[in-house]
Chain A
């Protein structure tokens, strides 16, 4: 025990004596949290729309207003020249062009329906898809309004009885206002804690190899487990501290709800960090320099993050990729933190996650310790 205590003391001294360490551990993650949570958004706003209005009726004007009045579209211009519209699309000055043909207003009045032409720049598929969606909603709303007016004018008596259209209304559970940050911030927190724990732990042990200090430690009677605990425990503690600070700021700045129990979150974080540190230890056993450790950590980190469900929902991935995410510890933490914080899930709901991450921790650590050698 005394040896572990001394190793811990040594490790903390070294960490806090390194002038770059405090900013890396505490400031950088917070800045990332604040910047990323505002920037990494899937909400698509400010789609640039351009009109070719050949009709110029009051109906055409109303349609245009319907687009522009929303937050989703901004008008970049209009004309009766198709070539200009085409050019705008090509130059990326417009995301979509809406062509209102001659007699649009007249047809609407006469027949109750008319034709419109939408051209959408689909280089960014997501953006195009969302753009179509928004447009359809607006146009639908517009036509139903017009239709109602027309009926009212021509046949006021039936209008009252007409079950006009099926009206769909949403209620967003667990995130009522569909606040994007509420969804993203817990995920980013997981990402940052993983980053700190995986990188610092793997680089820390490799650093001893690179500096040659491991040579001096290896000839001492210190036992493998004492050295490893002395190496990993500091980062386990730091990981928890970073997580707490991050969670506090998430609550303070972004009003992240804490619907479930913090105990569950912390219990899971404790186990999860063991898995990440085990991975760091494993990386350090297969590398000789901090540079190599950095690259391998990145390799795992990028895969873990992209396949964690943070950016792309796991349900949207191809089946083989979905299966692959089952091996990704980040995925489980991502699910747990969202379930518990946003949805208020209890232990029963996440017990499978606990089991899996616990098993993962044990396996990776056993493997890493087995790989770790005091001799070469």
Chain B
């Protein structure tokens, strides 16, 4: 399989802020690649360079063999882009937006209906409604339809699920998997770590630096530590106490539990429980767990 996207030593600065530092990345055709990182990590800057909206300061990038600077006109014909912010015309109706973008790409809704059918059919009952009056989930479906209407070979989705309810998010990922079957390469960014598992491969990005590129499974299997989850009624108190504990390697609040890593690689639950009891902690339960993508991300950040 050949590469859909090649990013070669790409850097971008906004004044003194280094948005992207020496990014190297290859994305295979027909894979769903997730770019995972917190807000401000550089995801959007990278997307805008790949979609020919932003010029890199250094390095080169190409999409299906076309250079993002030299061949930007060709690239614009073969990519679909869904910006993080809803960027369709709010005062035009659903149908008007879709037919406008179809026309700009020199096609019609009918011609490529099979590709957008599954998504568009869900919002078709509201096709006379103005895009600005749609719910978040419907806006997202419309934006995806518009990005797909010209049968792009690569789809760039910048935080498509931000601000969308959990049910719609799940649906959305289902749609992406089916689009992949049409042979479309998908590059998606998200700040949600749980969505990482739905990607074929993921890149973890932080402060403009790519920390790791891997499959979610491989990433988790390469987690270097034993990870423990602590349950307690008095989570905050435990968090505070263990932060100052000499053997703590890392400790993070994780929903209603605490994820803890000990400096001693061979630590086992029994030993830890014993040690913690000596610290005069409130009542707690401790068990060893498998790392999530977020644990891997936090570990990589700590290594930096």
Contact = CB atoms under 8 A, between A and B. Distances in A.
Interface of A: 2-3, 6-7, 10, 13-14, 17-18, 211-222, 375-376
Nearest to A14: B91
Contacts of A7: 100, 104
Interface of B: 48, 51-55, 72-73, 76-77, 79, 81, 83, 85-92, 96, 99-101, 103-106, 146
A220 B96 contact: no
Nearest to A17: B91
B54 A376 contact: yes
Nearest to B79: A219
B92 A219 contact: no
A220 B83 contact: no
- Per DSSP, chain A at the interface is helix
A6 B103 contact: yes
Contacts of A375: 52-55, 72
A203 to B, nearest CB: 15
Contacts, number: 70
A201 to B, nearest CB: 18
A374 to B, nearest CB: 8
B98 to A, nearest CB: 12
24 contacts: A2-B103, A6-B99, A6-B100, A10-B89, A14-B89, A14-B92, A17-B91, A211-B90, A212-B85, A212-B87, A213-B88, A215-B53, A215-B85, A216-B87, A216-B146, A219-B52, A219-B76, A220-B101, A220-B105, A221-B73, A221-B77, A221-B106, A375-B52, A375-B55
Nearest to A222: B104
A215 B76 CA distance: 12
A10 B100 CA distance: 8
Contacts of A3: 103-104, 106
B55 A219 contact: no
Given A219-B81, A220-B76, A6 B89 contact: no
A6 B109 CA distance: 14
B91 A215 contact: no
B162 to A, nearest CB: 14
A14 B101 CA distance: 15
Given A13-B91, A216-B146, A375-B55, 6 more contacts: A2-B106, A211-B87, A216-B87, A219-B52, A220-B104, A221-B104
Contact of B53 (A10, A211, A219): A219
A276 B210 CA distance: 48
